[in-house]
Structures are given as C-alpha cells and as structure tokens.
C-alpha cells in the first residue's frame, strides 16, 4: 500500500473512502467475467472487484447490487480492500469488533461478506475480490479455494499492465489459479500441448465428456458446431487473447448439453508457447431456461392475441342479434302491429335467439370437453344418415350462397360407433365452414367411404383455400381464415376446434388439405368403423 494509506487508521481510511467518489475505470470484460464467476461459484447475488488508489476506491466490476457512493455494498467493499488476508464474516449483525463499520451500514446491508486481497508479485496489495449475501452463511472449502484462485487471476490481469515481464508473471499466476480451480473440482479443467493433445484433465472433465474424455473429445461435439470448435482449437496461440467459446455436445445418454469454454495460452520463460489450459462451464440449464422463456412468451403473445380477437368477435356476433331482439321488443310494445306483422317480428326474434344459443352451446361444449364432463351416448350410427342430417342444418347458409352440393355415399351403408348428435354436429360444422369460405355459386362435395378399418367423410369445396401456415393453425381456438376484404367471416372461430375435440372423443381425427389460396380445401373426418363382435 502507499504511505498515504498506511498513515491513516482503518476507521479514518474508511471515512476517507466514504467521502470520496467511487471512480470507475474503463469497462473490462475480463474483470466482469471474474465478478460473474465469483458470484457463480460462491452462490451469492453480489460480487465486486474493488481497486485502491491512495485514499480512493475504484470499483472495477460488479454483479448484483451496484456499489454506489455511500451504499452498504460500497462501504463493505472499501472495508474488504483494507484487509491484508482472506476475510469472511458469517453475519455482520452479530459479528464482534465491527461496531465502527456497522454504524455506516444501512438497515438492508448484506450480512455475509467474504473477500480475498489482490496482491501483485512484488507484494503490493491493490484491491479485493469480494462476494456478499443477505443470508448469514459461510463458504464451503471448495468455494473458498475457488474464490482465492479467482483473486489470483484478477491480480494476474492487473500485473499484465506492467509490460512483457509483467505479462509472464501474470501468466504464471493464471496457470497456478487454473490449477487451483481444477483441484477445487468446481469446473471441468483441461491442459493441452501446442498440437492440441490433452495432457491433463480433472475428474469433472472426464464425467462431462464420458467415453470421449480423451483426445477424441471433439467427437462429442455436435456436427453443426464441430468445425467452429476445431478452428478455434487450432488457432495460432496468442498470449494476449483468452478464447471464450460456446458449443454443444452429446452426452453418453444422448442428452444435449450446452457448454462455454475459456482457456489461455501458456508460455515458457523465453516467451514460447508451450500449450493451453482452461475450464468448461455447463450452461445448459440457463440456456434452455432462456429458450423456454422465449418460446413461452411467444406462445403467450399468440394466445393473448387470439383471446383479444375472440372477445372482439364475440361482442360483434352478440351485438347483432341483441340489436334485432331489442328492436323487435320495441316494435311489439309501441307499434300497432297486425297479427301477420307481429308474427314476422316474433319469427325474426326467434331466429336471432337460436343463433345466439348455438354460439353459447358451442362455448359450453368446449368447456365441458376441457373439464372432462361431456357425456357421449355411443351406439351404432349410419354415416349416410349423419351426412343427411348435417346437410339440413347447413342448408340455410348453403342456399343463401347458392352453392351446388354433391353427395356420394356407399352401398351398402357404413356404420361407426358414436354419438349420433355429436357426429352430426361435427359434419355440419365442416359443411358450414366450406359454405362460408366459398364464393357465391360455388361447389361443396361430401363423400363417405370405407377405408380399411375406418370410415372417412370428406368435405371438399372450391373456395378460398389455405396456405400451409393457415392449414397448420386452422384447428386452433378462435382461429379464423383472414379472407379478402369483400368476404366477411361470421362466427367465433371455435367450430373447427370444437369439431376436432369432439372427434377425438370418438377415437377419430380431422385433417385438412389445400393446394393453396384460391384452390379450395378438403377436410377429412376419419373414424373407426363399427365392429360387430356378436357371435352368430
């Protein structure tokens, strides 16, 4: 330390530090990485690298709480810089002999502190690597050893600022610290010669790479990453670089693991490269969690958009019938209507109530299916009769749009085991969908056929068709095809979703095929055929 610092008592030195600004040096990724590593291996939310210069403190890097001037983290960091040896306090609130320090701390100050001094090769102490936690605790022996090794790395980085001689000193310090990390067993560790042949690996490396833990370790790297890893591994040695590389491997059980490797080139006394040494971190959990979070956020965004679209559609679909009913009630109350006119108004109101009931029934059915409360009345059902009844339900829309309908049913008839009412509901939804998305005067064709042990019902139209993306999403809740502006879609977008779920309850499925926009669509219901198990 400088003589100016030595002339101050510890309390006076802390007061001087507290009264002066915390001067940040330029950002340095190496020190940032050291702070992250310290927090990781010690399992603490806060870690910092603090440097001293006269009566000033410079916080070079930190993770977690920022050491702003006068904060508890800054005060504790300054106190740690004043310690010449490894420093650890389990719980500040009950620790003896630190009353002057406690007076300067806030009520939410960290309770646990551990720090290692940063000491250069000439013995000068220049700073600290410190970790903090609100939980009272102590470091495990391996964590303490790893923190001391990281402190040695930090001192080596500072030593490097001294030129060529300093760089060689720093390199030897770094080599010793890497060995310390290896012995601590917190990370997979390796050393290799100039040709890239492994000369040493620790137990964690061998566990990670399994049967490929030797010089065939590159075989464990997935093919898509192998060339990039090989190029980095064979790159010309450079003492001024510390390569960091992300790649993935396949474990012995076929599991995909994401790794981050950090190594440095080692030199002899003459400055000649003699090999490399480094560590590997398994980042699978953090990377997978990040990907899952992104995927989940995307899914939630899509579902939220569908929900909002559904709510808007529901409001629109119910507003129309309710407006008609409201006007009908007003006419019946205020106008002197004859018997024929009153009958027409009541018929109009009845049709609107029926339309609303159909939409509400669909939502109720979906809810019942989701809760497992929809009961099916299973029996032998003639699929030709199902198609006939479904056509009656869809007839008003088909007639309004003047579609040509063709029906093809087999002889003799084919039967399935199912709930006749629900099967009619499925096929009528398919017919209504075909009629809705086909221009006026179009064609809808229904075909019933036996296929091996199944019965197929195909509903084909020459309507607007589907893109591959639309076909993949068409059975989603509240999903509707976005037609041209001159075609208006009605309904809540639940018909196909409900149909597929009803089909699944019968052990059946619905598939869709289309050659693209303007090429029409074909929906196929495939359901197991009736099997008569009675013995003659």
Comparing 288 with 265, the larger pLDDT belongs to: 265
Question: With 50 as the cut, is the pLDDT of residue 9 above it?
Answer: no
Mean pLDDT score of the chain: 76
Nearest alpha carbon to residue 138 among 205, 38, 64, 42:
42
Contact between 407 and 446 (Cβ < 8 Å): yes
Paired tokens of 12: 């006076």
Confidence of residue 206 (pLDDT cuts 50, 70, 90): confident
Nearest alpha carbon to residue 98 among 118, 117, 75:
75
Question: With 60 as the cut, is the pLDDT of residue 181 above it?
Answer: no
Question: With 80 as the cut, is the pLDDT of residue 507 above it?
Answer: yes
For the segment 399-425, the average pLDDT, to the nearest whole number, is: 92
Comparing 33 with 479, the larger pLDDT belongs to: 33
| pLDDT above 90 as % of the chain | 19
pTM score, whole prediction: 0.41
140 Cα distance to chain centroid: 33
Confidence of residue 19 (pLDDT cuts 50, 70, 90): very low
Q: Which of 252-256, 300-304, 441-445, 446-450 has the lowest mean pLDDT?
A: 300-304
| pLDDT above 70 as % of the chain | 69
Confidence of residue 441 (pLDDT cuts 50, 70, 90): very high
**Cα angle 507-512-516, degrees, rounded to a multiple of 5:** 170
State in Å, rounded, how far the first CA of the chain is from the last one.
105
- Per the omega criterion (within 30 degrees of 0), is the bond before 412 cis? yes
CA-to-CA distance for 456 and 430, rounded, in angstroms? 13
Q: What is the pLDDT of residue 41?
A: 81
Paired tokens of 195: 């040709």
Question: With 60 as the cut, is the pLDDT of residue 526 above it?
Answer: yes
Question: With 90 as the cut, is the pLDDT of residue 489 above it?
Answer: no
């Amino acid at each position: 330390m400088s003589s100016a610092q030595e002339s101050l008592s510890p309390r006076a030195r802390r007061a001087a530090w507290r009264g002066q600004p915390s001067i940040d040096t330029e950002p340095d990724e190496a020190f940032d990485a050291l702070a992250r590593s310290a927090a990781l291996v010690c399992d603490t939310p806060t870690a910092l690298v603090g440097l001293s210069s006269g009566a000033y403190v410079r916080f070079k890097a930190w993770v977690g709480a920022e050491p702003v001037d006068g904060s508890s983290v800054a005060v504790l960091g300054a106190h740690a810089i004043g310690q010449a040896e490894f420093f650890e306090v389990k719980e500040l609130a009950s620790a003896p002999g630190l009353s002057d320090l406690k007076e300067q701390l806030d009520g939410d100050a960290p309770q646990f502190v551990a720090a290692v001094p940063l000491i250069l090769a000439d013995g000068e102490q220049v700073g600290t690597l410190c970790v903090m936690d609100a939980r009272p605790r102590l470091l495990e022996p391996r964590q303490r050893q790893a923190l001391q090794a990281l402190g040695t790395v930090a001192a080596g980085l500072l030593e490097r600022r001294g030129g060529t001689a300093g760089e060689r000193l720093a390199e030897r310090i770094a080599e010793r610290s890497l060995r310390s990390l290896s012995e601590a067993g917190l990370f997979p560790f390796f050393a290799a010669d100039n040709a890239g042949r492994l000369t040493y690996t620790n137990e964690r490396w061998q566990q990670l790479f399994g049967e490929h833990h030797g010089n065939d370790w590159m075989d464990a790297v997935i093919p898509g990453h192998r060339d990039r890893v090989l190029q980095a591994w064979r790159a010309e040695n450079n003492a001024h670089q510390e390569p960091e590389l992300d790649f993935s491997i396949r474990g012995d059980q076929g599991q995909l693991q994401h790794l981050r490797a950090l190594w440095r080139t080692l030199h002899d006394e003459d400055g000649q490269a003699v090999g490399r040494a480094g560590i590997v971190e398994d980042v699978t959990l953090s990377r997978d969690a990040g990907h899952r979070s992104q995927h989940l956020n995307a899914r939630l965004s899509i579902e939220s958009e569908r929900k909002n679209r559904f709510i808007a559609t529901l409001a629109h679909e119910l507003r129309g019938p309710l407006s008609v009913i409201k006007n009908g009630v007003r006419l019946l109350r205020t106008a002197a209507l004859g018997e024929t006119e009153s009958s027409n108004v009541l018929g109009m109101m009845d049709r609107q109530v029926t339309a609303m009931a159909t939409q509400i029934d669909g939502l109720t059915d979906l809810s019942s299916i989701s809760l497992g409360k929809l009961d099916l009345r299973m029996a032998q059902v003639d699929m030709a009769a199902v198609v006939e009844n479904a056509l009656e339900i869809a007839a008003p829309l088909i007639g309004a749009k003047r579609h040509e309908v063709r029906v093809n049913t087999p002889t003799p008839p084919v039967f399935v085991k199912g709930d006749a009412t629900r099967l009619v509901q499925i096929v009528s939804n398919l017919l209504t969908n075909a009629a809705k998305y086909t221009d006026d005067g179009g064609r809808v064709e229904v075909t019933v056929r036996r296929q091996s042990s199944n019965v197929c019902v195909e509903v084909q139209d020459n309507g607007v068709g589907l893109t591959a993306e639309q076909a993949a999403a068409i059975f989603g809740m509240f999903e509707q095809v976005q037609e041209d502006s001159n075609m208006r879609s009605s309904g809540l977008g639940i018909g196909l979703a409900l149909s597929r779920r009803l089909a699944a309850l019968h052990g059946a499925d619905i598939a869709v095929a289309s050659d693209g926009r303007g090429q029409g669509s074909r929906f196929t219901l495939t359901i197991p055929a009736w099997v008569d198990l009675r013995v003659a």
